[in-house]
Amino acid sequence: MPYNNFIILKYSFTNNTSRTISNFYAGVFSDWDLVDGQNDSTEYDYNGNFGYAFHNAAGFDTLVATALISSTNYGYWGILNDGSDGYWGIYDGFTNTEKWQAISSGIGKAKAGSGDISEVTSGGPFSIPAGQTLDVAFAIAAGTSLVDLRTAIANARIKYQTIPTSVSNQNIETPLTYNLMQNYPNPFNPTTTIKYQIAKPGYVTLRIYDMLGRVVETLVDETKPAGSYEVKFPVSGEQLASGIYLYSLNVNGLTFTKKLVLLK
């Protein structure tokens, strides 16, 4: 399948608050000047679900399009920039009220022009739970006919589905640094969890030591690929006395050591 005549723009929005963000919209504003910023038009194509722009004079046959490709809650607003079609324009500024209307009205104004035009292609409403990230993607395409645009946008939607949206979606987490995290719970009895990260493949040992430097338990002793790991350290019966112990990670010539406390 040809993956040409389009580019994909993906935006990630992270909710850093402690509550869900609802009624969230995301959009792309495009001020198209195809020849000289005059005699252009923009319309919404209900067949392919995208907004596109074209020049009305003979001799210029390039069309451009912007489409939401990550979901189907489409939005579009065509703008005649001087406002001479009875709607607001942007020559006197683009107010927050106008931006909100353009981005949140669904297919609010399906065409504008001929003249100096722009358009807003959007998606929403979305909800973003606390601490979560929302990905919203758009495609920008070009062609010499409306059929070309429909083909390019359809291919962009197919292509987007094959692009990993995040590392976690592939169940892979490759950290950029080595790290040995503090065990939890700490103090503990009878079981605690130790997490660690390694940036490159290597032979890993993770051992528990008493305060005299004696090995009391080996938790990991094998080659590991780069990634994040967690290991359980259970203590049963009279295996160990209450007190302070050390746990040490050794990989690729690096050593990390932390303390853990066993309370019985």
> Does residue 215 share a domain with residue 157?
no
Taking the C-alpha atoms of residue 45 and residue 110, their distance in angstroms, rounded to an integer, is 8
**∠ CA 80-83-86, rounded to 5°:** 105
Strand pairing partners for 248?
A: 207, 257
Among 172, 152, 131, CA closest to 48? 152
pLDDT of amino acid 36: 87
Q: What is the pLDDT of residues 63-83, one digit of tens each?
A: 999 999 999 999 999 999 999
Q: What is the DSSP letter of 182?
A: P
pLDDT of amino acid 168: 43
The answer to whether position 1 is within a domain reads: no
The model's pTM is 0.63
> Does residue 104 share a domain with residue 20?
yes
> Does residue 122 share a domain with residue 20?
yes
| Kind and range of the H or E run holding 103 | helix 96-104
Count CB atoms within 10 A of the CB of residue 183: 21
- Give the residue ranges of the chain where pLDDT is below 50: 167-175
Number of domains in the chain: 2
The torsion defined by the Cα of 88, 94, 95 and 96, in degrees rounded to 10, comes to 110
> Does residue 160 share a domain with residue 43?
yes
Supply 227's token pair: 């990634």
> Does residue 197 share a domain with residue 237?
yes
pLDDT of amino acid 169: 43
Q: What is the pLDDT of residues 92-130, one digit of tens each?
A: 999 999 999 999 999 999 999 999 999 999 999 999 998
Instruction: Tell me the CATH number at 245.
Output: 2.60.40.1930
**φ, ψ of residue 177 in degrees (nearest 5):** -135, 165
